[in-house]
């Protein structure tokens, strides 16, 4: 394996995008110009081989792409414009070669280019067992325009920004048939949803630009879990109507029970769930239509004990705050 | 072990320090107000059990304290005021209990309090083998006042900010006699230097405030390595005079050869090495004296091929860009 110096040289970006960048990789820390018109947004997440990804369902390119996508999704959920990212990779002494590491960075880079994000720091270290990727992302949002989970209020409309369950469906296919199977077109859409998810930055920006009281959360752990986070943070009841949840054509080819599990608890679709005041709903829909973005009412907010109620076929049940980790069950 | 929710609850700070903070832990990402008067400084570093720390030489409190200290040291080397940090910990399923994890955070917290830094994010995940800690730190420095490694120029004075080699000396003691040995006072100073190092934030601030052309680098990997980084970044020759390097009373009790190795290559002292124009030297010394800070000339900058020359007893030799990793030799 290359030494650390050679590795760092290989990941220094050939070009940069952000005009606020002063110094990226190469000194003790990166520097960028602050801006009083904006709020800075930052988060750090770690993904571990065997828990968040496995080589039998994700190529290194997908691992990098999706790791960054998951972090960008957190920025989207704040209404932010992505700006910078830093990556720390702990590489096992066995089982990963230089070409695969490069491919992980290429995966991140493909997505970063799309959002004009600059890679400005991080490091690489070695471990004895599994690959660990820590990514810090930064973004910014106009002053006072950030969108919190705690903004929901009685009477609000609950919305989502796209189909749910596809990623979980794709994972099931991959676990069953592997990376090299010759999938049909329908299956490919599910697999792509799992391997190359699209964070909803554009939607976050539309909602932030509206200036309305919007609550927002990204659906990384399944809508059941994320809706509960909004309920808790806003101290309200979230009512979800199952029949309104969006499912792809591909997902509709699967049996009901499987589908429901994926849609409610699957996670990793990286759509957004949020709320807006009822009076603003038509305005938001209009803005989304203009931008070619999907938005769908899936329920409403009620006063009361913070919890999530799922309405399905005229029955109501409390939806627990749980997601499922596909790999954990195997341990 | 607690679930992730319980763990996050336990690490949410009870109070915050930074007035720019809008939202810390608890939403998809943290938010703080940007400021056009400042440049934002950020870095991410990862420490792995068995490579960067071991339980037989560091208690969990020390591990947390030192991990954050190493990152703050990078901020100091830019001339920045520390502001925020985010921590991601990957915890092995065996070998670490909740109390030890708490202690790691207590160690970080002790140092963070000293610098009024707020913990604003991160996560905890599980691994199969060793503990991995990733820390992102942020700071800020007045516009155009940041200090880069590339600022050194012909004729500059090279300085350091304190004693070198103590941390390496402390580690040798700990490897030999363990954590529970009844050390004498001299030994204790070395052990403290290893377990609870002090980043040189105050010195970085004095140098940034000076407005002078200062190059700066923190000595994390040993002065040989760090001086080479300045030589390369500034495209100059760094001449170090061995006899001028500062050593503690404690270190002077060790044989010459051991001492030299520790001082030049030991690392983890987290002092700063830098350069200032010769004409500004007395001004800098005066400012340090006023602030009760140590600063010591240890050499000068010359034109020429980027490298480090060590002068010792009237002999000159090229000092290679190497540090030593005390654990790596055991692998």
Give per-residue pLDDT as tens, B132-177: 999 999 999 999 999 999 999 999 999 999 999 999 999 999 999 9
Contact call for residues A217 and A287 (beta carbons, < 8 A):
no
- Determine the Cα–Cα distance for residues B185 and B191; give it in Å rounded to an integer: 10
| pLDDT at B3 (0 to 100) | 66
Asked whether the beta carbons of residue A34 and residue B30 sit closer than 8 angstroms, the reply is no
Which segments of A are annotated as binding site for Mg(2+)? 28, 45, 74, 123, 218, 221
What's the rounded mean pLDDT across residues B66-88? Answer: 98
| B26 in reach of chain A (CB within 8 A) | yes
Asked whether the beta carbons of residue B148 and residue A23 sit closer than 8 angstroms, the reply is yes
Q: Where are the beta strands (DSSP E) in B223-306?
A: 237-241, 272-276, 296-302
- pLDDT digit of tens for each residue in chain A (331 aa)? 566 667 777 888 889 999 999 999 999 999 999 999 999 999 999 999 998 999 999 999 999 999 999 999 999 999 999 999 999 999 998 899 999 999 999 999 999 999 999 999 999 999 988 999 999 999 999 999 999 999 999 999 999 999 999 999 999 999 999 999 999 999 999 999 999 999 999 999 999 999 999 999 999 999 999 999 999 999 999 999 999 999 999 999 999 999 999 999 998 999 999 999 999 999 999 999 999 999 999 999 999 999 999 999 989 999 998 876 545 433 3
| pLDDT at B156 (0 to 100) | 98
pLDDT digits (tens, 9 = 90+) for B171-226: 999 999 999 999 999 999 999 999 999 999 999 999 999 999 999 999 999 999 99
Q: At what angle do helices B223-234 and B256-265 cross, to 10 degrees?
A: 40
> What count of other Cβ atoms lies within 10 Å of the Cβ of residue A116?
12
ipTM for this model: 0.94
| Chain B nearest-CA residue for A20 | B39
| pLDDT at B4 (0 to 100) | 65
Q: Please state the φ and ψ torsions of residue B42, each to the nearest 5 degrees.
A: -145, 140
Q: Where are the alpha helices (DSSP H) in chain A?
A: 4-11, 60-76, 98-115, 166-177, 185-195, 201-210, 223-234, 256-265, 281-290
Selected for mutation to probe chain B from A40, A119, A208, A226 (highest B CB count within 10 Å) is A40
What's the rounded mean pLDDT across residues B81-97? Answer: 95
Residues 117-156 in B contacting A (C-alpha not used; CB under 8 Å):
120-123, 125-130, 132, 134, 136-141, 143, 146, 148-150
- Nearest CA-CA partner of B159 in B265, B75, B312, B281: B281
| B280 in reach of chain A (CB within 8 A) | no
Contact call for residues B194 and B294 (beta carbons, < 8 A):
no
First to last CA, chain A: 30
| B44 in reach of chain A (CB within 8 A) | yes
Classified as helix, coil or strand, B98 is helix
Please name the helix (run of DSSP H) or strand (run of DSSP E) that holds residue B71, with its range, or none: helix B60-76
Contact call for residues A144 and A209 (beta carbons, < 8 A):
no
Contact call for residues B284 and B294 (beta carbons, < 8 A):
no
Q: Is the pLDDT of residue B11 over 90?
A: no
| pLDDT at A36 (0 to 100) | 98
Q: Is the pLDDT of residue B102 over 50?
A: yes
**Chain B environment of A78 (Cβ under 8 Å):** 27-29, 31
First to last CA, chain B: 30
The radius of gyration computed from the CA coordinates of chain B, to the nearest angstrom, equals 20
CA-based nearest distance B87→chain A, Å = 7
**Domains in chain A, ordered, with CATH?**
4-142 (3.30.1330.10), 149-326 (3.90.650.10)
């Amino acid at each position: 394996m290359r030494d650390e110096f050679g590795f760092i040289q290989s990941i220094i970006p050939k070009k940069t995008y952000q005009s606020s960048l002063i110094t990226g990789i190469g000194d003790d820390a990166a520097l960028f110009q602050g801006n009083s018109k904006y709020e800075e947004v930052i988060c750090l997440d770690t993904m571990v081989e065997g828990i968040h990804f496995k080589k039998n369902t994700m190529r290194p390119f997908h691992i990098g792409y999706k790791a960054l996508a998951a972090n960008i999704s957190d920025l989207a959920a704040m209404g932010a414009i992505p700006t910078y990212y830093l990556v720390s990779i702990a590489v096992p002494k066995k089982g990963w070669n230089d070409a695969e590491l490069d491919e992980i960075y290429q995966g991140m880079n493909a997505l970063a280019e799309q959002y004009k994000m600059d890679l400005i720091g991080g490091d690489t270290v070695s471990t004895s067992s599994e690959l660990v990727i820590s990514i810090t992302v930064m973004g910014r949002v106009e002053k006072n325009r950030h969108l919190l989970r705690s903004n929901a209020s009685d009477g609000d409309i609950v919305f989502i920004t796209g189909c749910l369950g596809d990623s979980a469906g794709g994972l099931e296919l991959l676990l069953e048939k592997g990376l090299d199977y010759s999938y049909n077109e329908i299956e490919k859409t599910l697999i792509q949803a799992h391997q190359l998810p699209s964070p909803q930055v554009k939607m976050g920006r539309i909602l932030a630009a509206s200036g309305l009281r919007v609550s927002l959360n990204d659906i990384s752990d399944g809508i059941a879990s994320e809706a509960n986070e909004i309920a808790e943070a806003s101290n309200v009841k979230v009512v979800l109507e199952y029949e309104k949840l969006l499912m792809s054509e591909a997902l509709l080819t699967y049996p009901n029970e499987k589908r429901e599990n994926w849609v409610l608890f699957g996670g990793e679709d990286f759509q957004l769930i949020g709320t807006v005041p009822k009076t603003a709903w038509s305005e938001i829909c209009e803005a989304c239509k203009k931008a070619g973005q999907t938005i769908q009412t899936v329920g409403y907010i009620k006063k009361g004990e913070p919890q999530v109620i799922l309405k399905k076929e005229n029955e109501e049940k409390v939806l627990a705050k749980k997601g499922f980790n596909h790999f954990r069950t195997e341990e």
